[in-house]
Amino acid sequence: MLEALGSGLSQLFQLETLGLMIAGILIGFIVGILPGLGGAVALALLLPFTFSMDPVQGLVFLLSMWIVTTTAGDITSVLFGIPGEATSAAAVLDGYPMTKKGQGGRALGTVLTSSALGILFGSLVLGLFITVIRPLVLLLGAPEFFMLVLLGLAFVVTLSGKSPAKGMAMVSLGLLVSFIGSDPSAGLPRFTFDQMYLWSGIQLIPVVVGLFGGAEVFQLMLTRSSIANGPLGDTKLSGTAQGMKDTFRNWPGVLRSSGIGVVIGMLPGLGGTVAQWISYGQARQFSKHPEEFGKGSTEGLVAAGATNNAKDAGSLIPTIAFGIPGGAATAVLLGGFLILGVTPGREMLTTRLDITFSMVGTVVIAGILGVLLALLLVRPLAALTRISGPVLTPLLFMFLVVGAYTASNNWGDLFVMLGASVLGVLCLRFDWPRVPFLLALVLGKLLEHYLNQANQVFGDGWLTRPGVIIIGVVVLMVLVLSIRQVRKDHRKRLADQPIEGAHTRVIRAVGGKK
């Protein structure tokens, strides 16, 4: 194994290979910043360029680009409230409020450092467990995946804020929207209202872009000021070092979130969109200040950043070990493996272990270089938030339109984005939670897919599988703990702010007359 490690790293440290890595990093950085143009699309576009490369060079080029898109995706989430990637949506919740308070540099420092630590953690797991993980992942089937999706939904209570009922109502809306399109068993259309566009279901990207980005751009149009504005205008754009310190101080959160990212990333089909919310939910549960979540909590931002990058390393495990892609991007990457003459599975773990280790090295080096590049650009990037709102608005409008339209190149995507923007604005205006809707939209399709598979393969017997029971217990624990937390928060609020009934009002009225 040590020989393979040495061989893999020596192939990686060739001048030409390192040059390709730098090229990949730069392309990935630009792609990550452009909303909607995700890692999967970029991989697909650049795949033809690898035809003439040798396997290690080709994989280094593709991997370095893909890893950096995730890091760069967090930058627009934090600075403009527009997620560069669907998997960067959680970073909006706390990163953008920090930017609005003039702490863009600190927020970027936090999210980028946690990204770097997430990459390191994920790569360590990838390197150490790639050869021994096979039996563990093979234990999981459709029933266990169904339960894991349920676990993701269980975090909704935590993410619902003050009112679980509102959160669950949004979940039901999100689920109903996710069920639009052909049903998984018979392929017959449901809730499509004779619209061809709806047959393939509602695309995720326009919803994410509208729900978060659209609503934020509209706010910018209303305030007509720069993103970092208001009475906090004298705060500094710097603070990157403070953000880095915040991350290191919150090392247990980094470890937990990275762990969640790797595990969820490793499970095919679940992907980063689910991982980020599970991680965000657990961070809120473990936090001593859950009330700060969604208002600029560094703990929330650390969770989003660490998970986002760790899950990429995690998703490489099943791709390399069994040729099972964890998500869309790894599916394209798998195509790259085959084009470059590398067969995933036993070969990658035995005779071509050197290539596997060169991939691990690429994830570490490209990930860290991507973060360093972003950190170097923190000041100019954060300065963008000082640009006048009207100057920035046309540019952000293009981000929204192009980001949404890339989903399926259909006007329907733009209508979905507009609808999601309206929903986002209503949620912000009337204090209804947006995240449960998005989480349900992501998980709804998976939930039905795995339930269908579990029923077809195992009948009713899947309910008694040990994995199902264990995950079921975890789901119950999460629900109980979440409900307890909500009740505790509610009691705290009551203690801090006495309810103003008629009695209080009379006293105030009399006091006012005096």
Residues in 231-250 at the binding interface with another protein, rule: CB under 8 A: 231-232
Least distance between another protein and beta carbon 441 (Å): 11
Q: Residue 267 contacts by C-beta under 8 Å, 6 or more apart in sequence?
A: 137, 140, 145, 148, 318, 326
Contact (Cβ atoms closer than 8 angstroms) between residue 260 and residue 54: no
Among 238, 452, 458, 481, binds another protein (CB under 8 A): 452
Residue entry with tokens 């923007």: 421
Residue entry with tokens 């009695």: 503
AA identity, residue 220: L
Verify binding: residue 444, another protein, rule CB under 8 A: yes
Among 398, 457, 480, 494, binds another protein (CB under 8 A): 398
The tokens for 43 are 């991989």
Among 10, 139, 195, 230, binds another protein (CB under 8 A): 230
Q: Footprint of another protein on residues 149-168 (CB under 8 A)?
A: 163, 165-166, 168
Nearer to another protein, 1 or 430 (CB): 430
Verify binding: residue 401, another protein, rule CB under 8 A: yes
Verify binding: residue 192, another protein, rule CB under 8 A: no
Verify binding: residue 479, another protein, rule CB under 8 A: no
Verify binding: residue 218, another protein, rule CB under 8 A: yes
Nearer to another protein, 22 or 402 (CB): 402
Nearer to another protein, 140 or 418 (CB): 418
Among 176, 255, 328, 383, binds another protein (CB under 8 A): 176
Verify binding: residue 500, another protein, rule CB under 8 A: yes
Nearer to another protein, 14 or 219 (CB): 219
Verify binding: residue 486, another protein, rule CB under 8 A: no
Supply the DSSP symbol for 228: S
Q: Residue 226 contacts by C-beta under 8 Å, 6 or more apart in sequence?
A: 385, 386, 387, 388, 389, 392
Stretch that binds another protein, among 117-125, 376-384, 444-452, 474-482 (CB under 8 A): 444-452
Q: How far, in Å, CA of 255 to CA of 261, rounded?
A: 10
Least distance between another protein and beta carbon 295 (Å): 8
Q: Footprint of another protein on residues 23-42 (CB under 8 A)?
A: 37
240-245, Cβ contacts within 8 angstroms, sequence gap of 24 or more: 240/105, 240/106, 240/108, 240/109, 240/375, 240/378, 240/379, 241/109, 242/106, 242/109, 243/105, 243/106, 243/107, 243/108, 243/109, 243/110, 243/111, 243/112, 243/113, 243/298, 244/109, 244/110, 244/113
Q: Footprint of another protein on residues 320-379 (CB under 8 A)?
A: none
Q: How far, in Å, CA of 244 to CA of 108, rounded?
A: 9
Verify binding: residue 507, another protein, rule CB under 8 A: yes
Stretch that binds another protein, among 14-22, 94-102, 270-278, 317-325 (CB under 8 A): 94-102
Q: How far, in Å, CA of 174 to CA of 129, rounded?
A: 36
Verify binding: residue 431, another protein, rule CB under 8 A: yes
**Secondary structure class of 182 (helix, strand, coil):** strand
The number of residues that bind another protein (CB under 8 A) is 75
Verify binding: residue 509, another protein, rule CB under 8 A: yes
Contact (Cβ atoms closer than 8 angstroms) between residue 184 and residue 448: yes
Nearer to another protein, 52 or 497 (CB): 497
Stretch that binds another protein, among 60-68, 253-261, 340-348, 387-395 (CB under 8 A): 387-395
Among 24, 97, 206, 271, binds another protein (CB under 8 A): 97
Q: Which of 56, 107, 133 has the alpha carbon at shortest distance from 322?
A: 133
Contact (Cβ atoms closer than 8 angstroms) between residue 383 and residue 237: yes
